[in-house]
Structure 1
């Protein structure tokens, strides 16, 4: 039986059709775990275009996320309904957006958090291409030579950046920035282009782009996409950065974070 066709729903004088349809989709997502546009249209008895708009609206509000094979999954807002106590760990809350980004770009993606002047790779999904960047989950690196680290440093006032590096920049083999003046020039570029670029700086043969999520429950975080430098020149950079920035924007909206300066 179609949820939308129940006699009780149609006879309810206070029923608002659009709200009823959205609630039906939320129920289906919670019960089934995944939902396609075709399935949504069939259950609601509406055109696929209508179902797509409804699911898109739920995604924009963080109640659904689109993953592999264009299937929709419960989003952070839906998963969080009915929960009490402390918030779930950040990697768990951001994971749906990391998975969606991975499904769109097909490259290794990471969630990165800033710990002072360093970053820690908190979660990741490894790409499946024969030549790919491996996972760095758990690794620590200086923020100034990573894409996500640059994006997060670009969120900060110049005085705070100076304080974090009061003892100078931590030496790193592939560093492209030699001093604080150079770092501030680099961060200015990050703010203008709205993403950080790491070209063989954190590791030889690796190029990455990163965008800030801002501060989530007191944790400064970013999403990154990493791929072999040898293949970076062959990809459409604008599309790659667009996917990354959109994922960050959707995550910030769902997590209730104000927009950051770098993304």
Structure 2
């Protein structure tokens, strides 16, 4: 088959498209790398961890910095996620809250308990939405409040779902004792996270607040990434209901992940 100007042009266009996709994929890989390193990375550290040529990393970082997606901080030139990332994240979070509100309401009606929606932010769980139970005795956390990851159900659920490298960065060396029931050693926490990975459900048995217990699950979808749904209750209503709470949460998780599609990339 003879080679024509048209076929050469089409091949060149395909190569350009393929190259553009590869650049986007590499830029996304750099952003995920910086997400897992809140203190920032130097260009040399990015090169070492990502396995690309120094010139390629330099071009990618320069382009991302120009778009506000990364920024350079400190005298050593450590790269961190830039100011455009929180703005994008806020938009995604607003969409997530709107999307998930009906599921939270269904779960709250079913269990007659408060249902929380939370996300992982700055090494803590931050509550971003809540459906409050119509009961005189109920558990309520303020939207916008942050809890330590190691001692609450949504925090442990999110920790259990993290990749190993991100998990080590997220768990502090010193685990504060919020109550006499809090897990305060890393080995004990890691043992519990192993259980959560097997069962899919995390429990807080008065580990954050005396008198309040909770169950929670991590959810991941292609629409807005990772979050956690949890059901906090007075301990007197929690004891003996653990399996019912777990079953209801897992069913809600399956519905959400089926309706919005599975995650296709790493956290």
* Compared CA separation, residues 217 and 180, structure 1 to 2 (3 A): farther
CA contact under 8 A between 1:126 and 1:135: conserved in structure 2? no
TM-score, structure 2 normalization? 0.59
Which whole-Å deviations, capped at 9, do the CAs of 1:40-96 have from their partners, x for residues lacking one?
xxxxxxxxxxxxxxxxxxxxxxxxxxxxxxxxxxxxxxxxxxxxxx76521111111
1:256 aligned residue: 261
Which whole-Å deviations, capped at 9, do the CAs of 1:156-203 have from their partners, x for residues lacking one?
1333211223x4145242262112212111100111221000011121
CA contact under 8 A between 1:162 and 1:180: conserved in structure 2? no
CA contact under 8 A between 1:111 and 1:222: conserved in structure 2? yes
Query: Within 2, Cα distance between the matches of 1:172 and 1:221?
Result: 25
How far apart are 1:216 and its partner, in Å? 5.3
2:248 aligned residue: 243
1:147 to 141, 146, 153: 153
Query: Within 1, Cα distance between the matches of 2:185 and 2:132?
Result: 33
Task: Please show how residues 57-96 of structure 1 align to structure 2 within 5 Å.
Answer: 89-96=95-102
1:211 to 213, 217, 223: 217
For structure 1, the residue ranges without an aligned partner over 5 or more in a row are 1-85
Query: Within 1, Cα distance between the matches of 2:220 and 2:192?
Result: 19
Task: Please show how residues 9-88 of structure 1 align to structure 2 within 5 Å.
Answer: none
CA contact under 8 A between 1:197 and 1:208: conserved in structure 2? yes
Query: Within 1, Cα distance between the matches of 2:141 and 2:147?
Result: 14
2:143 to 137, 160, 174: 137
CA contact under 8 A between 2:183 and 2:207: conserved in structure 1? no
Query: Within 2, Cα distance between the matches of 1:153 and 1:116?
Result: 13
Q: 4+ runs of 1 displaced by more than 4 Å?
A: 215-219
How far apart are 1:144 and its partner, in Å? 1.3
Task: Please show how residues 227-238 of structure 1 align to structure 2 within 5 Å.
Answer: 227-235=233-241, 237-238=242-243
TM-score, structure 1 normalization? 0.60
2:108 to 90, 95, 102: 102
Q: Which moved more, 1:223-232 or 1:213-222?
A: 213-222
Partner secondary structure for residue 207 of structure 2:
coil
1:198 to 201, 204, 216: 204
Q: Flag the structure with more relative contact order, 1 or 2, with Cα contacts below 8 A and sequence separation at least 6.
A: 1
CA contact under 8 A between 1:99 and 1:125: conserved in structure 2? yes
How many equivalent pairs are there?
172
How far apart are 1:217 and its partner, in Å? 4.8
Partner secondary structure for residue 161 of structure 2:
coil
What do you get for the CA RMSD once the two structures are aligned? 2.1
* Compared CA separation, residues 242 and 98, structure 1 to 2 (3 A): same
Q: Which moved more, 1:156-165 or 1:143-152?
A: 156-165
Which whole-Å deviations, capped at 9, do the CAs of 1:91-132 have from their partners, x for residues lacking one?
111111111111111101000111142100110011122211
* Compared CA separation, residues 100 and 147, structure 1 to 2 (3 A): same
CA contact under 8 A between 1:125 and 1:135: conserved in structure 2? no
1:183 to 189, 193, 197: 189
Q: Which has the higher helix share?
A: 2
For structure 2, the residue ranges without an aligned partner over 5 or more in a row are 1-90
* Compared CA separation, residues 257 and 169, structure 1 to 2 (3 A): farther
